[in-house]
A and B are shown apart, each in its own frame.
Chain A
Amino acid sequence: MDGLLSEAFIASLFFGAVTAGVPLLLAGLGEQVSEKAGVLNIGLEGMMLAGAFAGFAAAYATESFLAGFCAGILAGMAVALIMAVLCVVLGMNQIVVGIAITLGAEGVTALLHHVLYSRSYPRLSRVETWTIPGLADIPYVGAAFFDRNALIYIAFALTFFMIWVFRRTQAGLNLQAAGDAPAALDAAGVSVTITRFVSVLVTGCLGGLGGAYMATVGGGLFLPFMTGGAGFIAIVLAMLARGNPLWILFGAFLFGASLALTTALQVAGVNIPTDVIQMLPFAMVIVVLLLFARHSYLPPALGLPYQRGAR
């Protein structure tokens, strides 16, 4: 157990926390947008998985991470489009459609992986990083935060961008009204359908990007079912964040850290069965829910399809 407090152990913990936390952050920020607008996007896991596969395939074929990210975004949005048409335009049950999308994406990506790569699991080359001079040399945290892929910086910046959108723009106001009192938004002359449609596409975009990150920067390879519940954790984060992106940032790294701890403890050779260690992040979900779920605020119209004139 000597290694537990060493600089190497702690630095790798931070490094792993960021690596595992960024997809949760991206997907959580995306989910927050559609939840604010009143759409409970259970299909997030499916969007992440689609983004992961498309992102990996594109990055592997072109040897460009940027191409991978773009492909991930497009794939996530393509899946989100199904959700948006079925739930927002046609008013179908969001939970049923969301579960179907997640299950469908799991099957389709596993199949496509088999078609493209048969039974092999090719790996991507090393991650391209942007090193921030000076800051990257800080002990413990330098490597984790300041010597990383560009997408990680973007994810951080996005958190603050979303705060600005929610507090200072008309779009943020429209989103909140669409989730809190859609009839009021409609009466004000803003289309609830379009607002929610766009919000679901934004979720798909960020969920797909989060997935692409997992398969490129995160792991460098695609495995069927590789998101492993990350989408659902992101949904929980968005529900607990009470509309504030900072809580998503905090929560994402809390879960990221517990995921990283899982790996770090196994590497450090702690004498606990691996099954117990791997339970850690999910035990964490339960603890966090017990502690904070009472304080969660959900938009009153969350999960309810809107139809003009129907009461």
Chain B
Amino acid sequence: MEPDPVGAPDGDAALTLHDITRRFPGVLANDRVSLSFRRGEIHALLGENGAGKSTLIGIVSGMVRPDSGSIEVAGRPVRITSPSAALRLGIGTVYQHVLLVPSLSVLENLMLGNPWWRTLDRAATSERFADLAELLSVRLSPDAPVGRLSLGEQQQVEIMRALWHGELVLFLDEPTSMLTPQGVEDLGVVMRRLRDHGVAIVFITHKLKEASDLADRISVLRQGRVVGEVTPGELSTMSPDAIIERVVAMMFGDDGKAGDLRATLVGDAAAPQSRQSAEAGVEPLLVLRGGRTAGQRGECALDGTDLEVRPGEIMGVAGVDGNGQKHLAEVLAGQRMMTTGSISLAGRDIGHLGVAGRRRLGVRYITDERLGEGTAPRHSLAINLVIKEIGSPQFWKGGITLWRRIHDHARNLIRTYSIVAPSERAPLAGLSGGNIQKVLLAREWTGDARLLVVSKPTYGLDLQNTRRARDWIKSIRGNRDTAIVVISNELEELIDVSHRIAVMERGRIAGIVKNRSGARTAIGRLMAGVGAA
């Protein structure tokens, strides 16, 4: 697997793509993409949702075949026909979602993929494991079941597996999305070590800041095409701000909205002083005390959660996924009963009330499972807008559906929220993610809301829709009758919209931080389990 400097036009190129094109029904996912990835270089690929990053990863990892174009590995033309072919060529991929078998140990996961007729060769595997552990400079117990490792550690195992058959090219698909700030830092260390060892590292992200911090070279994809590059020379001479301006211009073109999006991208949106709200003296509207729930295996339950939210306040809930956020949202919405603990809204105990009862009192929940528990995707947009009020006298009379009222109501909301849809009768599933999110916002944000719980408001949305959703949340804060809880694993988002930010860790609130300068550090420490600043 040594590169062949004679045959290669660029001696350092580990992997070169020429004019790769891949079409899916109705979409040109990759349009004549040509890129070269060099040994000893961290190459960031930036792009919005739908820019073609995932298809590109699929092609180099053998999951997707290109329609046309050619690939060279170390100067030699190759065809990558399957995931195992990619691994044998020394092209390893770490996917966005962990692809390990949780019930198997670290070593066993690394042995997956050996010829099936062999017996398990623990000795040889341990040896290679030790080599790679040293190369990455990580400490992992080879016999620990992978399901018990933290997400950062699981990612280290994935990096080992990607490099198992050769250390030529390593693709990392949005590797930081599930990590704590500390985990991101550790990953940076590992990436630099591998780069210095001569690995070509390709790092796919939509977070501009990470790209400019970590990468030696940045390429930008838009609508399936490579639209620009920042070279190592430019990266070392330009100021961080200039780099960001340049990349944002590449990502979005000059459509005038770049400044706005830039704010979303780098997370320096609103000035903290604009959020001095909710004076400390005011009685809290929502009070949750000692909330505990029973969790199933693999779920994190609440373990004594306390939370108070004042009227007009946005309480952000931060934390790495899987620290009880899901249960917290469900407990507040009434979808899950607590085993112990109390919850009251405006001084009234609501612990015994289910979803319908709480909804009558003004509890609203915008779930992150938009197509799961959030909506009935095969039903019409109009029905989805009233789905939580089935049987209400406004739309039903004596069991008869008043379709005209439902459709009028839907047309109103479509206008107010500028939802893009063929008609109010169209099935919801046909709408884009951003528009489905608007449907949920429109349904939940009715005049009598007293408590609004929003879970991952921008999950899966592209930048423009992310911007819109955040602007919307900011537009409703300061409403004196309503307490708002925003749960998210995007720290930037919470810093953008919240008054205070609570950090969840293992089913408890590890601490609550006022959102002012320095909050980021304090939250980072809490998330990493270091304790309050």
Q: Which of A169, A181, A188 contacts B113 (CB 8 A)?
A: A188
**B111: CB under 8 A from chain A?**
yes
Q: Which of A170, A308, A309 contacts B114 (CB 8 A)?
A: A170
- Chain B residue numbers with a CB within 8 Å of A173 are 104, 108, 111-112, 120
* Shortest distance between the CB of B170 and any CB in chain A (Å): 14
Q: Which of chain A's residues have a CB closer than 8 A to the CB of B114?
A: 170
Q: Looking at the complex, which one of A169, A176, A189, A195 makes contact with B101 (CB distance below 8 Å)?
A: A176
In contact, B99 and A181 (Cβ under 8 angstroms): yes
A173 to B113, CA, bound (A): 9
B118 at the interface (CB under 8 A from A): yes
Judge whether B83 is part of the interface by a CB distance below 8 angstroms.
Answer: yes
Central interface residue in A168, A174, A188, A195, by most chain B CB within 10 Å: A188
Q: Is the Cβ of B120 less than 8 Å from the Cβ of A168?
A: yes
* Docked pose: A308 CA to B118 CA in angstroms: 25
* A171 proximity list for chain B (CB < 8 A): 116-117
Asked whether, in the complex, the Cβ of A184 is within 8 Å of the Cβ of B116, the reply is no
Q: How far is the CA of A188 from the CA of B98 in the complex (A)?
A: 12
Q: Which residues of A contact B100 (CB under 8 A)?
A: 181, 184
On chain B, the residues within 8 Å of A190 by CB distance are 84, 112-113, 116
Query: Which residues of A lie under 8 Å from residue B84 when comparing CB positions?
Result: 188-190
Q: Does B365 sit within 8 A of A, measured CB to CB? A: no
Q: A177 on the interface (CB 8 Å rule)?
A: yes
Roughly how many angstroms separate A170 CA and B115 CA in the complex, as a whole number?
7
Question: Chain B 352-380, CB within 8 Å of chain A: the 1/0 string?
Answer: 00000000000000000000000000000
Question: Assuming the A-B contacts A173-B111, A188-B83, are A183 and B118 also in contact, with contact meaning beta carbons closer than 8 angstroms in the complex?
Answer: no
**A177 CA to B99 CA, complexed, in Å:** 11
Residues of A with C-beta under 8 A to B83: 186-189
- Closest Cβ of chain A to B424, distance in Å, is 29
Contacting A at CB under 8 A, from B507-528, are: none
Question: In residues 48-77 of chain B, which contact A (Cβ within 8 Å)?
Answer: 58, 61, 63-64
CA distance A189 to B88 in the complex (A): 9
- Complexed CA–CA distance, A180 and B83 (Å): 19
A217 sits at the interface (CB 8 A) = no
Roughly how many angstroms separate A168 CA and B113 CA in the complex, as a whole number? Answer: 15
B456 contacts A by Cβ under 8 Å: no
B112 (CB) vs chain A CBs: closest residue: A188
Q: Nearest CB to that of B87 among chain A residues?
A: A189
Instruction: State whether the Cβ of A71 lies closer than 8 Å to any Cβ in chain B.
Output: no
A180 to B100, CA, bound (A): 9
**Which of B84, B95, B117, B161 has most chain A Cβ within 10 Å?**
B84
Min CB gap A34→B, angstroms: 16
- Which residues on A sit within 8 Å (CB–CB) of B150? none
- Complex Cα distance A309/B111, Å? 23
On whether the beta carbons of B117 and A170 are closer than 8 Å, the reply is: yes
Chain A nearest CB from B442 CB (Å) reads 27
Residues of B within 8 A of A181 (CB): 99-102
A237 at the interface (CB under 8 A from B): no
> Which residues on the A side are within 8 Å of B101 (C-beta)?
176-177, 180-181, 184-185
Q: Which 5 A-B pairs have the closest CB atoms?
A: A189-B84, A188-B113, A188-B112, A187-B99, A181-B101
- Cβ contacts A to B, 24 pairs, < 8 Å: A169-B119, A170-B114, A170-B116, A171-B116, A171-B117, A174-B112, A177-B101, A177-B104, A180-B104, A181-B99, A181-B100, A183-B99, A184-B99, A185-B101, A186-B83, A187-B61, A187-B83, A188-B83, A190-B84, A190-B112, A190-B116, A308-B63, A309-B63, A309-B64
Other CB < 8 Å A-B pairs besides A173-B112, A188-B112, A190-B84, 8 of them? A174-B116, A176-B103, A177-B112, A180-B104, A184-B109, A185-B112, A187-B61, A309-B58
